[in-house]
Chains A and B, each alone.
Chain A
């Protein structure tokens, strides 16, 4: 039963009619049900669980409260196996020919977390065909699991699982690469189940008249990734195709961009503005503190003696009102707090409950709603930092709650009113890079009615895509890019600036100024946001005599050859994967090279079925629906040979052709293959943006790709507000993915540009210029070069708009003339003093 009474148990189904301009389908997926695969024993043996169930086992709110135990006897396992591709990459038993894209990574994650949770050693084995850690920095995570944390990865497919009745352990029989049948005993087996479209989504699609593909994912065009077969209806997430969280979040924004583009005229017409009363000035008043102590149902009240803590709070200096509530965050308690603020003329509020991370904003809004400045608020976290972790010692926990409340009350008395500066937003956008991503981002913003400056450093639009011919689906890249350029050129909102070079940059979110040079001419552009789309290019190999022998080419060059001359005269082509990727110099996977090899392999076989095509690989990473092309390539006779990183193929020139030597793990033999052409699957490297980053101060990772604000939650935002990111500047990706990301960046930028004003954070550093001795320590120490010495006025100035609020300047200032708002020295020491005044 829900203690908060948030669930209405007698609720009934209701039908309502909504009139809308666009629809987005994001109905997601469900885990594959492995009970049909009887050889795995799921449903029969209790210690065989699905990855979803294992996720619950690891969870603090799960069946065993986060303690890793196996279901049969609640014993902690010492050895766990993960079986990959259950319900994926399997046309034989389940009909799901696609790769679910996420299982390799979550299996690695589960193994790593399981190792953290156990008390002793835990042996983790992941049985797989290929490890597909193709996402940004995923390969590094895989390497950490493999090399540092000792997770074992075994290339094998599972024959059967049988239970050992006496122990409940499981015997896993599998065939290794050499064809030997082996058996290993595990305490527990986790089935890495794939993603599948639920029946209900199929029904939904039928009702809406949306086309689905043979696996029931929504049919979309590679160049229009979120557009369904029905105009006005868009899709995103796994319903569109198997994908991970960053890609789903990205696509969600892309769908919002497309759907919003149809509704420009209606933007903002149905929103309601919250009315905030005028703020009352309490600066001169003595503190009158109200303390609200929360039971959080039984989360706090079940451990801590809440009435005692409330009573204690009443004895503290400046406290004029105390109360305790079942749920302080509930709507009726908010109303009560408002009443009490007015009735008791409270000018500070302390809530003793949970984390400010989750609830501070809400309580601050309550203060604002009765005219009290939002920064006159303080929280004591007596749940996450107390009752949850000290549940075994209620008395000590009650004492600690009192300490935390005393500290919060002391600090609250020192808090000052702070006002967030309001600034206007310039409605123009700057897009850096005129490739597929940059053009799509510009079009997305143009469609939303914003003026866009699209910068391209070369003399024509198109970027790296100008070198490409077809996608793996057979779509014509050249025709698409031509049409895209025409659309961009035809859009009245987009101003294209070619041969552009950024020479200077200033300003802050909502109000940037960028100086752009074209030839000898310079112009200053004012804009409110920035989208980075500087792209990437093919790595130029230093491996395998690439520079010395014309018979060694890259995949992009092979694409040119096939386009111009076809496969005539090619008896044998050998492709080598992971050139310039997944090695010591560049640990990451370049994501696109496997599908490139498969694409070109299929093309050769279709042009000339007699040509022998060999792909030498480490893991084939044709994720998602591309797995079908890998299957097609094998059916057409392309031969795939796996090699180990420490035993790479050797390439030697000869008069007969190139000789490629490689060890075949299945035949357990060293092979020599004669090739007319050796094709290197060269990875993707970021465009050189050193000069740009020197001017604009954007953060890049060691590989030169830009770093997003949050890998999963904010995949197209840069850490600095008003700056967004898309395309291969973010990391290697396919055209389809770059388009979705560009639309996503445009969507995120739109949420920013559609506001007339924005509020700046009030938590910024302030200089007391009267006492400042101008030693410039702050100027030297600020990581963002914010404090500057104004030579005219002879003072240090810190611009609120660009200060990040880290407080470094405040702590280095030798005369303490800089204070960080909300974290002033006495606002920190008051807590220290109050804590220790209790005689710790």
Chain B
């Protein structure tokens, strides 16, 4: 559909959002990403039955962990859509980007950029 969405969104492919680990999400923030989001199938229509429901729970868990260490939990989110919903995908990408812009840069970035370069 070639729908425009913000260039800062980069996709990492997984077989099912049920494969997305808490560790993966934590790592993105630790490494300096300003935000990360998981895009899964609509609730109730997971090809593997309930992978997307597990992903949602993990996202909520990561949000809590981030809050605990003094970061905005909302830097990590979960979205659901069906594979036929290109426009919704683009809309979520925009929504997430705008939301992260409002939150500002990830405070860990300075630290993580320094370590990344080492």
Q: Spell out A's residues near B (CB within 8 Å).
A: 60, 65-66, 116-117, 356, 381, 385, 388-393, 396-397, 399-400, 403-404, 407, 719, 763, 781, 783-784, 804-808, 810-812, 820, 823, 825, 828-829, 831-833, 835-837, 839-840
Contact = CB atoms under 8 A, between A and B. Distances in A.
A634 B10 CA distance: 61
B3 to A, nearest CB: 6
Given A806-B51, A808-B54, A390 B7 contact: yes
Contacts of B7: 390, 393, 396-397, 399-400
B116 to A, nearest CB: 5
Contacts of B10: 385, 400, 403-404, 407, 835
B19 A388 contact: no
A389 B87 contact: no
A802 to B, nearest CB: 13
Contact of A66 (B2, B13, B48): B2
Contacts of A388: 2
A835 to B, nearest CB: 6
Nearest to A386: B7
Contacts of B16: 806-808
Contacts of A381: 11
A781 to B, nearest CB: 8
Top 8 A-B residue pairs of the complex, sorted by shortest distance between their CB atoms: A807-B19, A806-B48, A783-B49, A836-B31, A808-B18, A388-B2, A806-B16, A396-B7
Nearest to B32: A836
B67 interface: no
Contact of B31 (A397, A811, A828, A833): A833
A402 to B, nearest CB: 11
Interface in B1-58: 1-5, 7-8, 10-16, 18-21, 23-24, 27-28, 31-34, 47-51, 54, 58
Given A356-B13, A804-B48, A116 B31 contact: no
Given A400-B7, A808-B18, A825 B23 contact: yes
Contacts of A810: 19, 21
A253 to B, nearest CB: 23
A554 to B, nearest CB: 34
A315 to B, nearest CB: 16
Contacts of A393: 7
B72 to A, nearest CB: 17
B32 A390 contact: no
20 contacts: A65-B2, A385-B11, A389-B3, A389-B4, A391-B2, A392-B4, A407-B12, A804-B48, A805-B15, A806-B48, A811-B21, A811-B54, A820-B19, A825-B23, A825-B24, A832-B12, A832-B24, A832-B33, A835-B10, A836-B28
Contacts of A837: 31, 116
Given A805-B15, A811-B54, A829-B24, A840 B3 contact: no
Nearest to A835: B10
A781 B51 CA distance: 10
A403 B90 CA distance: 20
Given A808-B19, A839-B113, A829 B27 contact: yes
B112 interface: yes
A143 B12 CA distance: 36
Which residue, B7, B31, B32, has most C-beta atoms of chain A within 10 A? B7
A259 B19 CA distance: 44
Contacts of A396: 7
A121 B1 CA distance: 21
Given A781-B54, A832-B24, 19 more contacts: A66-B2, A116-B87, A381-B11, A390-B4, A390-B7, A400-B7, A783-B51, A806-B16, A807-B16, A808-B16, A810-B19, A811-B18, A811-B21, A823-B15, A832-B28, A835-B12, A836-B28, A836-B112, A839-B32
Nearest to B13: A356
A806 B34 CA distance: 28
B19 A831 contact: no
A806 B24 contact: no
A811 B19 contact: yes
Nearest to A385: B11
Nearest to A831: B12
Contacts, number: 112
Which residue, A381, A390, A806, A825, has most C-beta atoms of chain B within 10 A? A806
B32 A807 contact: no
A578 B5 CA distance: 46
Interface residues of B, number: 38
A389 B5 contact: yes
Contacts of B21: 810-811, 825, 828
A840 B32 contact: yes
Contacts of B32: 836, 839-840
Contacts of B87: 116-117
Contacts of B50: 783
A476 B50 CA distance: 47
B98 to A, nearest CB: 17
Nearest to A399: B7
Contacts of A385: 10-11
A835 B27 CA distance: 12
Contacts of B5: 389
B103 to A, nearest CB: 15
A837 B16 CA distance: 25
Contacts of A808: 16, 18-19, 48, 51, 54
Interface string B92-118: 000000000000000000001100100
Given A804-B48, A832-B28, A60 B2 contact: yes
Nearest to B28: A832
B55 to A, nearest CB: 9
Contacts of B24: 825, 828-829, 832
A806 B1 contact: no
Contact of A828 (B4, B14, B33, B49): B14
A811 B20 contact: yes
A832 B31 contact: yes
B31 A820 contact: no
Which residue, B2, B5, B87, has most C-beta atoms of chain A within 10 A? B2
Contacts of B113: 839
Nearest to B87: A116
Nearest to B106: A840
A831 to B, nearest CB: 5
A840 B8 contact: yes
A723 B19 CA distance: 26
Contacts of A784: 48-49
A381 B32 CA distance: 23
Nearest to A384: B2
A390 B31 CA distance: 25
Contacts of B23: 825, 829
A610 B5 CA distance: 68
B33 A836 contact: yes
A358 to B, nearest CB: 14
A496 B3 CA distance: 56
A31 to B, nearest CB: 24
A783 B12 contact: no
A745 B46 CA distance: 25
Contacts of A65: 2
Contacts of B4: 389-390, 392
A781 B57 CA distance: 14
Given A60-B1, A390-B4, A807 B31 contact: no
Nearest to B83: A357
Contacts of A389: 2-5, 90
Nearest to B24: A828
A829 B21 CA distance: 10
Contacts of A811: 18-21, 54, 58
Nearest to B31: A836
Contacts of A60: 1-2
B62 to A, nearest CB: 13
Contacts of B14: 807, 823, 828
A396 B58 CA distance: 32
Which residue, A117, A356, A831, has most C-beta atoms of chain B within 10 A? A831
Nearest to A781: B54
Contacts of B11: 381, 385
